[in-house]
Each structure stands twice: as C-alpha cells, then as structure tokens.
Homo-oligomer: A and B are copies of this chain.
Amino acid sequence: MASSAGIRIGALSRQSGVNIETIRYYERIGVLPKAPRSSGGYRLYRHGDVARLAFVRRARGLGFSLDDVRELLTLADGKSRSCQRVYNMAGGRLADVRARLVDLRRLEGVLVDMVATCAEGTLPVCPILDALGHAA
C-alpha cells in the first residue's frame, strides 16, 4: 500500500488524539466528511484530516458543542472566513464559561463550609447531612 493512499483510522486516532469510535461517530453525524475507502473497506485519511480533527478537538476542548463545531468548520472552509459569527460564538462560550465559574465558586464555598463544620466525623449528628436537610 503506497503512502499516497493515506493513513487508516488507527493512525489518524494516534496522530490526532481522538479515539477511533469517536472519529467514526463524527463521520456518522456529519462533523467529518465520509472518508473514502480502500479496496478492503477501510477508511482512508490524509494529512488534512489530521488537522481537521485537531481543529475539532481544540474547539470541543473550549466547550463548543458539536453543532457549533460543525458551523465553525463550515466557516473555516468558507472563502470569506469572516469574523462576525465566529466572534459571537466565542463570546457566547466565554459568557457560558464565566457563568459556570460563578456557579462553581459558590459551590466551592458551600462545600468548604460543609467539610469544615464536619471536623473529624466525631459529632453525633453529621452537619453535612443536616445542612442538606435544611434550606441553604
């Protein structure tokens, strides 16, 4: 098999850090295009696919949904590559992340208090269960 024929899914998986089942899943839901096949029916990929998959991985890592990723890929493929829509999407993600941060910081505070009141578990009535049993 000449190298020009491309790599198979296992190699793509190793090179991109995305696992095989996930790659097939992405193809199935249209995040990745249908890969051409070898005579034996194996999916064949080229270098551009590694980059595309890395793009997906990074976007997912930033918390974009697969719907968003699909749109980002379309925008990246487009000729204009205009920023407006992308800017809005990134801004939306940033707002989500910040909202989540606020939530989690509050949570952290509550949990710290709980754990602190608990001391060493020597009390007859667990203060954590007690706290859960009454309005915060």
Contact = CB atoms under 8 A, between A and B. Distances in A.
Interface stretch (A3-11, A24-32, A75-83): A75-83
A20 interface: no
Given A94-B112, A101-B108, A118 B83 contact: yes
A135 interface: yes
Interface string A97-120: 110110011011011101100111
A62 B106 CA distance: 9
Contact of A115 (B55, B82, B94, B124): B94
B121 A62 contact: no
Interface residues of A, number: 50
A13 to B, nearest CB: 18
A2 interface: no
Contacts of A94: 108, 111-112, 115
Given A54-B135, A58-B136, A75-B129, 5 more contacts: A86-B129, A90-B128, A94-B112, A97-B107, A100-B104
